[in-house]
Structure 1
Amino acid sequence: MTDKRQFQRVTLNVRGTLAHNDMVIDVVVSDVSLQGIKLFASETALTHLPFDSHEPYTAMFQANEDSPVITLHISQLYRHADSRKEGVSLGCKVESMDLESVSALRRLITLNS
Structure 2
Amino acid sequence: MAAVLSSVFIDGRYDAKVFNKYIEFISNLNVDNFAYTITCLYETYEEKKIPFLKEEKVNIVLAILTRLRDVEDINFDEYKRRLFHAISGAYKGDKYLVRDNGHHMPLYGWRS
Q: TM over 0.5: same fold?
A: no
Structure 1 length as normaliser, TM-score? Answer: 0.28
Structure 2 length as normaliser, TM-score? Answer: 0.28
Structure with more of its chain in strand, by fraction: 1
Structure with more of its chain in helix, by fraction: 2
